[in-house]
A and B are shown apart, each in its own frame.
Chain A
Amino acid sequence: MSWIDIGTLDDIPPLGARVLKTPLGCVAVFRAEGDRLFAISDRCPHKGGPLSEGIVHGDKVTCPLHNWVFSLETGEAQGADVGRVETFAVKAEGGRILFDGARLAQRDAA
């Protein structure tokens, strides 16, 4: 793991998300109920909708374009839709948001 400080918890509204630009593409960082953080790819596998703009409910987010619902934890599409978005490790520590950059580094090395 290689934790990168990407901002403060207050930068993300409760039940909201912000975008993190990475070499692997945009990642949506979510602040779910109880200040639990999740990070998933910001691109819906259906038509590329920005998941960071979806409504957050429970541990799920609904894509703003066509209402596909994804688990923030597993990245799996819910219900009858089939698809998955990549998930990333993210955590809060002392009010800061730490994002695991290991995967980005791996890609750099490759």
Chain B
Amino acid sequence: MQKLVVIGAGMASGRLLEQLFAANPDAYDVTLFNAEPRGNYNRLMLSPVLSGEKSFAEIITHDEDWYAAHKVNCRFGEAIVKIDRDRKVVVGAKGEVPYDKLVIATGSAPFIIPVPGRDLPGVVTFRDLDDVEKMRGACGQGKSAVVIGGGLLGLEAAAGLRLQGMDVTVIHLAGHLMERQLDPAAGYLLGRAMEARGIRVHTQGSTKAILGHARCEAVLLADETTYPADLVVLAVGIRPEVRLANDCGLEVARGIVVDDAMHTSDPDVFALGECVEHRKTCYGLVAPLYDMAKVLAKTLLGEAGAYEGSEVSTKLKVTGVDLFSAGDFADKEGREDIVFRDPGRGVYKRLVLEGDRLIGAVLYGDTADGAWFFSLIKDATDVSEMRETLIFGPAYQGGAKADPMAAVAALPPEAEICGCNGVCKGRIVEAIEGGATTLDQVRAETKASSSCGTCTGLVEQVMALTLGDGFKMPTAQPMCKCTDLTHEDVRRLIKSQGLKSIPAVTQELAWKTPNGCHSCRPALNFYLLAEWPLDYRDDRQSRFVNERNHANIQKDGTYSVVPRMWGGVTTPAELRAIADAAEKYDVPMVKVTGGQRIDLLGVKKEDLPAMWADLNAAGLVSGHAYSKGLRTVKTCVGSQFCRFGTQDSTGLGIKLEQLLWGSWTPHKVKLGVSGCPRNCAEATCKDVGVICVDSGYQISVAGAAGMEVKETEALAAAPTEEEVLEITAAFVQLYRETAKYLDRPYKWVAKVGLDWVKAQVVDDLESRKALAARFEISQSVYRKDPWAEHAAADERPRWAPLADLTLEAAE
């Protein structure tokens, strides 16, 4: 019988021995060394042991009886002195063992970050049962633990320690947790879930030192943050354990280099598991290890077998957190994403496609389809046929019915679906029965969802109900008919490809129309000016009439003119100028608006520049009552006159208006500042509302008082006006940078989540300042009066008719 020596009794070699004995129990006389004083157990289940959800006995995979039954000579707890390849012996602390074949399965060692204090008692790694026992020994109610490393292992350790009653902080170097397995969106959701279970997460945290005298007491970060720590767990990563292989002169790169048959550079020495490097890849997950074990068992039995690398998938084993990732999901050229988000349920799914193949998947919140996606990745299945419904998983393929959509089904025919255009369900059903099968056709036929678009989902559900299987719910809405790309795609590509003009976008992103349409052009114009404030030149011809003409068109083709009244404050001189202009240009109606200013209605287009010049002369500028931009800042009287006012709300409103005016945003933005909680300025239904209180200012955002009515949600409390201004600028800039065109702030916040906004705009000071700085760069271009520009003498002829043939004809 040949002699086989195996170094390392971990999961890889455990599986190898199982395979070997199953195929031929008498092929080898086996000696098994292990540094740990025990045999093989399921290392993946160490976290439940740490949390107390399982006992060690439950996770043992090979016990003494198993080793005895297979006549394995166990040398557990014995260190290896060296491997002598010339003599073909392994030298252990208690004597040498000769081999015919040798398998190295030394696994990996935790990476120890080179910071002061790493040797202090109380600093542990998370690798084996001894580590778990040390951690459990340090646990106790009210004690603090810091886990350095927010990867798979670190988070499992953190969750386990938290369940043991510890106060736990996770320090992670990257910008989001598990950055190797998750994209930022899923990483963010994970961070939120961790915090929801009481685990503090500090991302972009670089550990400077572990502090303490007799044992660890605290962790100090590079940004000077300190966290108390009775226990420090180092979980920053692993590296292949290659010392023995190095010492005996085997070829070692990052890991012990093996070929497809698991041979090392010595024909009688093999290696497998986390210690190897195969085709330049090292693995740290169990599935590839098992694949290797299968191949090596064949090789040892003289059969042909080849390991060809593995696709890997990850599932986080923290009770109550559903997370799955597989394959490759980096943003690269030629890759496309299908993304599904349901913020209400906390579900995020992202599929990455390259050509007709699925190459990566990230699932958060609902991982039921993970295995199916993983098999599509591994098998390189052509998914082009099911692409449209792919993200809904296998249940949706092959015509299986989706949700019954009971709510929409139950609506009577006269129920109104589209409020803008007054379209009821019956009318939509009629149009569908009359042959409309796509959303565009229904839209064209009935006008339903053709204005604000908020009812699009409802219209689609009516279509799904009426058409049954004939209707496929679209996964991602393209921006318009000119492209298949979504708004989000287009924005991302404008940035990543450095596209700086509308022609550049339509060309590079393969628009289907020569120069877009009335729907995409205004959106592109905004995305471009928001992304490249200094480079991009605003394209007037891509603006809706109101923004192009800096006045609101009325039903009869005349315009309304609204001068700005800063914070709703005016002067007798301004009022006189307005009155004069109203008379001079025969304004049929003068009306006070809801935004605390005066509207001059019914002005002829050719009169606009002259009227603006008159108003400019009195110091009045455009009120942008026509723009997707800052409209008004409504204020109350405040502490200057009001007996209840706590702060100068009027003054702050004026400052805010002066900060924000002229800026273009995805949709209109209105602010309110109230001087006390009586809230006379109705600040709590605005996009940004400030309520003054004795201690300072409460800033809330994402209100609505239009088609929908919604109270604002608290964003921050600020002690000073300066901070209010900075937070507001940062909020508006984040909205400008990330919202879809024509989404009001309340819709945008509902999509991205208030917590995320808060993190960028309030909590992360650096991010806040950067946002405010970027806003200021943009404002250096746009904080100016467009009326003055167009009122210039040489501009005026452009506002008049090109020619008048009525006179000629009369002659």
The answer to whether A and B belong to the same complex is yes
The residues of A with any CB-CB pair to B shorter than 8 Å are: 4, 6-7, 11-16, 18-23, 26, 29, 33, 47-50, 53-58, 62, 64-65, 67, 69, 79-81, 97, 99, 101, 104-105, 108
Q: Across the interface, do B801 and A18 meet the contact criterion of CB distance under 8 Å?
A: yes
Q: Across the interface, do A49 and B801 meet the contact criterion of CB distance under 8 Å?
A: no
List B contacts of A67 (CB < 8 A): 450, 518
Q: Across the interface, do A6 and B541 meet the contact criterion of CB distance under 8 Å?
A: no
List B contacts of A56 (CB < 8 A): 541
A105 to B809, CA, bound (A): 7
Instruction: With A13-B541, A16-B541 as known contacts, state yes or no: A6 contacts B803, CB within 8 Å.
Output: yes
B576 at the interface (CB under 8 A from A): no
Q: Which of B517, B548, B555, B805 contacts A20 (CB 8 A)?
A: B805
List B contacts of A26 (CB < 8 A): 801
Q: Across the interface, do A20 and B544 meet the contact criterion of CB distance under 8 Å?
A: no
Q: Which of B513, B545, B804 contacts A57 (CB 8 A)?
A: B513
What 9 A-B pairs have minimum CB-CB distances, sorted nearest first? A80-B444, A62-B518, A18-B802, A64-B545, A55-B518, A6-B803, A53-B545, A21-B804, A15-B541
Q: Across the interface, do B545 and A79 meet the contact criterion of CB distance under 8 Å?
A: no
A5 to chain B, nearest CB (A): 9
B540 at the interface (CB under 8 A from A): yes
Instruction: With A65-B555, A80-B444 as known contacts, state yes or no: A29 contacts B802, CB within 8 Å.
Output: yes
List A contacts of B549 (CB < 8 A): 53
Q: Which of A11, A33, A57, A97 contacts B518 (CB 8 A)?
A: A57
A94 to B541, CA, bound (A): 24
29 A-B pairs whose Cβ atoms sit less than 8 Å apart in the complex: A4-B805, A6-B802, A11-B802, A15-B515, A18-B802, A19-B802, A20-B801, A21-B801, A22-B809, A48-B556, A49-B557, A50-B557, A53-B548, A53-B549, A55-B518, A55-B542, A55-B543, A56-B541, A57-B513, A57-B515, A57-B516, A57-B517, A57-B521, A58-B517, A62-B517, A80-B441, A81-B444, A97-B802, A99-B805
List A contacts of B450 (CB < 8 A): 67
List A contacts of B514 (CB < 8 A): 33, 57-58
A69 to B557, CA, bound (A): 17
B806 at the interface (CB under 8 A from A): yes
A56 to B361, CA, bound (A): 41
Output the nearest chain A residue to B436 by Cβ-Cβ distance.
Answer: A80
B808 at the interface (CB under 8 A from A): yes
Q: Which of A11, A58, A108 contacts B809 (CB 8 A)?
A: A108
B445 at the interface (CB under 8 A from A): yes
B553 at the interface (CB under 8 A from A): yes
Instruction: With A57-B516, A62-B517, A67-B518 as known contacts, state yes or no: A21 contacts B541, CB within 8 Å.
Output: no
A19 to B797, CA, bound (A): 12
List A contacts of B808 (CB < 8 A): 4
Instruction: With A13-B541, A80-B445 as known contacts, state yes or no: A23 contacts B513, CB within 8 Å.
Output: no
A10 to chain B, nearest CB (A): 11
B768 to chain A, nearest CB (A): 37
Interface size class of B (residues with CB under 8 A): 20 to 34
Query: Which of B522, B557, B806 lies at the interface centre, i.e. has the most chain A CB atoms within 10 A of its CB?
Result: B557
List B contacts of A20 (CB < 8 A): 801-805
List A contacts of B543 (CB < 8 A): 55
List B contacts of A104 (CB < 8 A): 805, 809
A71 to B441, CA, bound (A): 19
**Besides the contacts A21-B804, A55-B518, what 16 more A-B pairs have beta carbons closer than 8 Å?**
A4-B805, A6-B802, A6-B803, A6-B805, A11-B802, A18-B801, A21-B803, A23-B809, A29-B802, A48-B555, A55-B517, A57-B517, A64-B544, A64-B545, A81-B444, A108-B809
Q: Across the interface, do A23 and B805 meet the contact criterion of CB distance under 8 Å?
A: yes
List B contacts of A49 (CB < 8 A): 557
A88 to B806, CA, bound (A): 16
Q: Mark B533-561, 1 if CB is under 8 A from A, else 0.
A: 00000001111110011000101110000
Instruction: With A16-B541, A54-B545 as known contacts, state yes or no: A22 contacts B517, CB within 8 Å.
Output: no
Instruction: With A65-B553, A67-B450 as known contacts, state yes or no: A58 contacts B805, CB within 8 Å.
Output: no
Output the nearest chain B residue to A60 by Cβ-Cβ distance.
Answer: B517
Q: Across the interface, do B553 and A19 meet the contact criterion of CB distance under 8 Å?
A: no
Q: Across the interface, do A58 and B802 meet the contact criterion of CB distance under 8 Å?
A: no
List B contacts of A81 (CB < 8 A): 444
Q: Across the interface, do A21 and B805 meet the contact criterion of CB distance under 8 Å?
A: yes
Q: Mark B234-255, 1 if CB is under 8 A from A, else 0.
A: 0000000000000000000000
A6 to B441, CA, bound (A): 40
Q: Is the interface of A mostly helix, strand, loop or mixed?
A: mixed
B459 to chain A, nearest CB (A): 15
Instruction: With A13-B541, A53-B545 as known contacts, state yes or no: A58 contacts B806, CB within 8 Å.
Output: no
A79 to B557, CA, bound (A): 24
B672 to chain A, nearest CB (A): 30
Q: Mark B775-811, 1 if CB is under 8 A from A, else 0.
A: 0000000000000000000000010011111101110
List A contacts of B445 (CB < 8 A): 80
A16 to B543, CA, bound (A): 11
B481 to chain A, nearest CB (A): 10
Kindly identify, within residues 197 to 228 of chain B, every residue whose CB is under 8 Å from any CB belonging to chain A.
none
List A contacts of B802 (CB < 8 A): 6-7, 11-12, 18-20, 29, 97
Q: Across the interface, do A58 and B513 meet the contact criterion of CB distance under 8 Å?
A: yes
List A contacts of B809 (CB < 8 A): 22-23, 101, 104-105, 108
A33 to B804, CA, bound (A): 25
A18 to B799, CA, bound (A): 9
Q: Which of A6, A22, A97, A99 contacts B806 (CB 8 A)?
A: A22
B502 to chain A, nearest CB (A): 10
Q: Across the interface, do B805 and A55 meet the contact criterion of CB distance under 8 Å?
A: no
List A contacts of B545 (CB < 8 A): 53-54, 64
Q: Across the interface, do A54 and B805 meet the contact criterion of CB distance under 8 Å?
A: no
B594 to chain A, nearest CB (A): 22
Q: Across the interface, do B553 and A14 meet the contact criterion of CB distance under 8 Å?
A: no
A49 to B518, CA, bound (A): 15
List B contacts of A13 (CB < 8 A): 540-541
Output the nearest chain A residue to B521 by Cβ-Cβ distance.
Answer: A55
A104 to chain B, nearest CB (A): 5
A80 to B416, CA, bound (A): 21
Output the nearest chain A residue to B421 by Cβ-Cβ distance.
Answer: A66
Q: Across the interface, do B553 and A53 meet the contact criterion of CB distance under 8 Å?
A: yes
Q: Which of B444, B513, B522, B541 contacts A79 (CB 8 A)?
A: B444
B338 to chain A, nearest CB (A): 28
Output the nearest chain B residue to A107 by Cβ-Cβ distance.
Answer: B809
B521 to chain A, nearest CB (A): 6
List B contacts of A64 (CB < 8 A): 544-545, 553
A28 to chain B, nearest CB (A): 10
Kindly identify, within residues 410 to 467 of chain B, every residue whose CB is under 8 Å from any CB belonging to chain A.
441, 444-445, 450
List B contacts of A47 (CB < 8 A): 555
Output the nearest chain A residue to B802 by Cβ-Cβ distance.
Answer: A18
A50 to B606, CA, bound (A): 14
B445 to chain A, nearest CB (A): 5
B435 to chain A, nearest CB (A): 11
List B contacts of A57 (CB < 8 A): 513-518, 521
A56 to chain B, nearest CB (A): 7
Q: Mark B492-536, 1 if CB is under 8 A from A, else 0.
A: 000000000000000000000111111001100000000000000
List B contacts of A14 (CB < 8 A): 541
List A contacts of B518 (CB < 8 A): 54-55, 57, 62, 67, 69
A18 to B606, CA, bound (A): 12
List A contacts of B441 (CB < 8 A): 80
Q: Across the interface, do B541 and A55 meet the contact criterion of CB distance under 8 Å?
A: yes
Output the nearest chain B residue to A34 by Cβ-Cβ distance.
Answer: B514
Output the nearest chain B residue to A18 by Cβ-Cβ distance.
Answer: B802
Kindly identify, within residues 113 to 129 of chain B, every residue whose CB is under 8 Å from any CB belonging to chain A.
none
List A contacts of B553 (CB < 8 A): 50, 53, 64-65
B794 to chain A, nearest CB (A): 13
List B contacts of A58 (CB < 8 A): 513-515, 517
Output the nearest chain A residue to B546 by Cβ-Cβ distance.
Answer: A64
A58 to B515, CA, bound (A): 6
Query: Which of A4, A6, A55 lies at the interface centre, i.e. has the most chain B CB atoms within 10 A of its CB?
Result: A55
A18 to B445, CA, bound (A): 31
